[in-house]
Structure 1
Amino acid sequence: MAINLSKGQKVDLTKTNPGLTNIVVGLGWDTNKYDGGNDFDLDSSVFLLNGAGKCSSESDFIFYNNTTGANGAVEHTGDNRTGQGDGDDEQVKINLVNVPSSIEKIAFTITIHDAEARSQNFGQVNNSYVRILSETTGEELIRYDLGEDFSIETAVVVGELYRHSGEWKFNAIGSGYQGGLVSLVKDFGLDV
């Protein structure tokens, strides 16, 4: 049975699931009633971070135009431009054993494409979540529902996997940003 997390809560992933090597991180969302005349395209991105919490190079930024990183250990499965349908809108596959030791954190984010130009924000988004599944069994291990805490934000760091004493843990972050993807990229140490 999945562990349901609250904002700020941390939980063991590999210690409580011995032998777990391959996971799928599913991200999902719905849009509220929106009549702005523009498409509403949310995107998940992954930042592979060193001990200082920064990306070492542009290749550590995984998204729909750079779908593989960490020497193939992290793979974004593709862009869902509409968010229609049930289940995960976008997924990231991770082989925890093969993530290079220089990567200490893996941050998962959701941003709204062209949010400022389209007058869109996370106040218009609901049912956002991140969940971690065993790729082998399909069992949901961890789930974090973000709630409706957002208004003018255009990007959200939903959570992060991080190494601790040789094990992987998950931290439910749920922190909103203004400035969209550009703000996140800068915060994680990359040039725009």
Structure 2
Amino acid sequence: MAITLKKGQKIDLTKGNPGLKNLKLGLGWDTNSFDSGYDYDLDVSVFMVGKSGRVERDEDFIFYNNLKHISGCVEHLGDNRTGEGDGDDEEILVSLDIIPKHIERVAVTVTIYEASERRQNFGQVNNSYVRVLNSDNEEEVLRYDLGEEFSIETAITVCEIYRHNGEWKFSAVGAGFEGGLEALCKNYGLSV
């Protein structure tokens, strides 16, 4: 049975699940009935962070224009431009055993495409979640529901998977930003 986390909680991924090497992160959301005249296009991005606390190489940023890390350790399975339907809206595959040694954290984020132009923000998004599955058997390991605490934010760091004493852990972050993808890139040390 999957564990449900709340904002700020951390859990060991590999110590309690010694065979866990391949993850699928499923992210989902719904939008409120607010009509800005545009569809909502939420995008998942992954910032692979080194010891410096920043993304050290351009290829360590995975998003809709760079879907797969050069090592194959992280792969974005594609951009869902509408979020329609049930289930996960976007998915990320993570192979823990081949993440390069210079990577200490894998930060998973969601942004709203053209949020300011479309007058959209995360106050108009609900039922947001991330779930972590063992991709070898599709068994759900944990789930983090983000709740409804966001208002004017246009970007969110949803969670982080990080190394600690030779094991991988999961942190339910839920931190919001104004300024969309550009603000996240600056936060993680990338030039836009």
Equivalent position amino acid for 1:176 in 2: G
Whether 2:156 is the aligned partner of 1:156: answer: yes
Q: Structure 1 CA distance, aligned partners of 2:142 and 2:51?
A: 24
2:47 aligns with 47
Contact 1:70 / 1:99 at 8 angstroms: preserved in 2? no
Q: Structure 1 CA distance, aligned partners of 2:49 and 2:36?
A: 36
Deviations 1:69-91 (A, max 9, x none): 15111100000000011111000
Q: Structure 2 CA distance, aligned partners of 1:159 and 1:52?
A: 19
Deviations 1:97-128 (A, max 9, x none): 00011100000000000000000000000000
Q: If the length of structure 1 is used for normalisation, what is the TM-score?
A: 0.98
Whether 2:20 is the aligned partner of 1:30: answer: no
For residue 68 of structure 1, give the secondary structure of its aligned residue in structure 2: coil
* 1:65 CA displacement: 0.8
Q: Structure 1 CA distance, aligned partners of 2:67 and 2:30?
A: 23
* 1:180 CA displacement: 0.5
For residue 182 of structure 1, give the secondary structure of its aligned residue in structure 2: helix
Alpha-carbon distance change, 151 to 27 in structure 1, aligned in 2, over 3 angstroms: same
Q: Structure 1 CA distance, aligned partners of 2:36 and 2:119?
A: 8
1:27-176 aligned at under 5 Å gives the runs 27-69=27-69, 71-176=71-176
Equivalent position amino acid for 2:114 in 1: D
Q: Structure 2 CA distance, aligned partners of 1:53 and 1:2?
A: 30
Q: If the length of structure 2 is used for normalisation, what is the TM-score?
A: 0.98
Equivalent position amino acid for 1:88 in 2: D
Q: Which runs of 5+ in 1 are unaligned?
A: none
For residue 7 of structure 1, give the secondary structure of its aligned residue in structure 2: coil
Equivalent position amino acid for 2:86 in 1: D
Q: How many residues were matched structurally? A: 192
Runs of 4+ that moved beyond 2 A: none
Q: Structure 1 CA distance, aligned partners of 2:103 and 2:185?
A: 17
2:9 aligns with 9
* 1:159 CA displacement: 0.5
Q: Kindly report the root-mean-square deviation, in angstroms, between the aligned alpha carbons of the 2 structures.
A: 0.7
* 1:34 CA displacement: 2.1
Q: Structure 1 CA distance, aligned partners of 2:15 and 2:148?
A: 31
* 1:39 CA displacement: 1.3
Among all aligned residue pairs of Structure 1 and Structure 2, give the percentage whose two residues are the same amino acid: 60
For residue 152 of structure 1, give the secondary structure of its aligned residue in structure 2: coil
Q: Which runs of 5+ in 2 are unaligned?
A: none
1:179 aligns with 179
For residue 168 of structure 2, give the secondary structure of its aligned residue in structure 1: strand
Q: Structure 2 CA distance, aligned partners of 1:10 and 1:35?
A: 36
